[in-house]
Structure 1
């Protein structure tokens, strides 16, 4: 009996992994991100913007970035979600979200609530003081503003 218990304890515990919900997801009607697998983690890049161009007709840039050297990079194609690791079935945590609106990077966790709905918690410090964002799956290329 003791040998059986020791064998069970010696087997490493594995977390239930969450399959990355690949596709295009709309956030607050202002931006859409393409969610993709990046080395077993969940990542996302901007694919659509409600207002993709400035008044001069140029693609919007990352003008609020705290690093002046990065302020000229286009928002289209910019990776804004990264490092989300599986934290259980249909759950991810420990990731990062870069918000081009304020140039700040936040912690993020996410949960797939249905095939077409992700609920994400974006925060600094602890999730309690964060903000909840709802991401809804959309078809790629169905309106103007695509990168």
Structure 2
């Protein structure tokens, strides 16, 4: 399976279908978040258990979170995707109670691969847009 196909399967099975048990099928034992502004894991290298916690943070806050991949470009051990993320905030975000509001944001993520598995990412998207949609800021 080439890296682009593997990444698309990962996004569908793990993110969209919430199959946390499939993490080890796609993700290397060490996963580095190189850049992901306002992400508490930015700059860290995490293992599968920490990766599960990271996913559950998103799934608990937005149980219906969904990523639509708009485009993908593969180059060696890198695959870049543009995406649209949607979801409804029906769970608490940390100490903040749910707003029951919908979100939609677009972004780009560059995934890094090592030995046929996803080993990290570099990501950019406008989290301020989400904060506005949730009513946290004007």
Decide which structure has greater helix share.
2
Is the radius of gyration larger for structure 1 or structure 2? 1
TM over 0.5: no
- How does the TM-score come out when normalised to structure 2? 0.32
- How does the TM-score come out when normalised to structure 1? 0.31
